[in-house]
Structures are given as C-alpha cells and as structure tokens.
Structure 1
Amino acid sequence: MATELLLNKRLSRRTLNSLGRHAITTVDQVVEAYPERLLKLNGVGMTVLRDIERTLFPGQQFQPHSGRYKAWTEDASSHSHGDQTQSKE
C-alpha cells in the first residue's frame, strides 16, 4: 500500500536519521505527526520540517505563531517566496 512506503530515498539523510531515532519510518507516521508532534521530537527542528514539507506536503509551510520558533518565523517571513502557508492546530 502506498501510504506504508518507507521514507528512505525520499528525504535527506539528516531527516531520516532524526525521524529514525523516534522509530518514524513510514509516510503514514510522518503525516500523522505533522507538524506539532514532529517539532516536539528531539532532533527535529525547522530544517527537518522543511525537508518533510518539500517532499510530502508540497505547497504547504507550517508557520508557528509563538514559542520556540517565533524568532525564526519572523526572520523567515522577510525571505518568503510566496509559499502557501497552512497551520494545523
């Protein structure tokens, strides 16, 4: 079944290592955890999240509104390339 495909060769080695440390190995597991649960995992930050978005959620970009990533979001908004934003709450 397509939703059970392993993630290897679809994401960067860094992303695969970060997810693998938490036993996340399938597309379904990533989709289920996106975005908030992923960001709570040790070793998963905005760089890993953006890699996941480019591969599994084209056209989407989670924008945290507060907390740990607030400064990053404000900085990134000045470099926006017109990407569609979507926040799942």
Structure 2
Amino acid sequence: MINGKWKLAIIISIGVGNDRFTDVQESIPGITPKVLAKELKELEQHQLIKRIIKEGYPVKISYKLEPYADTLTPLIYAMKDWGLNHRKKILAR
C-alpha cells in the first residue's frame, strides 16, 4: 500500500501538519497536482487518510491521517534507520 515514489512522502507530510492540498504539494518537491490527487484518493480508499470537506465559500478541503495510519509509524522509523545505516555503509567504502 505504501509502494511507489509518493505515498510515504504524502503520509509523512500530512502527519507533520500539512493538511491542505497545496501544503502537501509544496512540501514534496517534484510531485504534480494530478499525481497528488490520484495518490490521495488511493490513500483514502485504503483508509489511511480522511478527506474533510468544510462547507462555506469557498469550500475548504483538508486531509488528516486516520488512526489506522499510526500502525505505519514503526515501519517508517525502521525504514529510516535502515536507510541511515545503509548510507553510512556505502560512504565508508
């Protein structure tokens, strides 16, 4: 579910407080609006994020992590630690 180039970055971005579409997009260099919209929809379908619509003018849409997304935290930290250790190994050559 967190495969690909963008999903993990999106989850992390929303997790640190970027709750609006443009905030998430600006926090992830290189992601296009079309790709971000597609990835957000998939994350919502898999119940990792929730799309919140606030009525009014203009309509405000925000995103937040579902509690289920917290189950990814140990995996994210494990991947981060592995990456840091791998970098040290490669640079030690």
The two structures have a TM-score, normalised by structure 2, of 0.33
Larger Rg: 2
**Structure richer in helix, relative to its length:** 2
The two structures have a TM-score, normalised by structure 1, of 0.34
**Structure richer in strand, relative to its length:** 2
